[in-house]
Amino acid sequence: MAAAFTTRPCAPGLTRRASSVAAPPAAGPTAARARAAAVVAVCATPPTLDFDTKVFPKEKVEFAGREEYIYRGGRDKFGLLPKAWAGIKSVGVIGWGSQAPAQAQNIRESCAEAGMDVKVR
């Protein structure tokens, strides 16, 4: 019986390389499973943790030996919201359990503080 195996691709622009493991058995009932387990593809280069912003200042930080970009929020940034959300009239929030209502309330309060008329559902 043949088995089909799929792997998830790396992030765009990254290459895959196989890890080195012991050779699987050449034949037998578990040979297909063993061969599939023997070739483990890993991303050769980790994805870049960066984002594009034209409104908010971003900051490069290092966590666990990796550089990534963050945005430090705060009440002093409320004045930037109207520019960042220009043209947005309605926002829908999807989440699990209490997550969505809490995030929706956070957005609702931030928009009200910034003097914006955005409907949050």
Q: What is the predicted pLDDT for the residue at 44?
A: 60
Alpha helices (runs of H) in 17-98, residue ranges in sequence order: 31-38, 81-84
pLDDT in tens, 50-67: 878 899 999 999 988 888
pLDDT in tens, 16-53: 554 444 555 566 656 665 555 555 555 566 666 787 88
pTM of the shown model: 0.53
Q: Which long-range contacts (CB under 8 A, 24 or more apart) does 45-53 make?
A: 45/14, 45/15, 47/10, 47/11, 47/14
20: exposed, middle or buried (Cβ count in 10 Å: 0-12, 13-18, 19+) = exposed
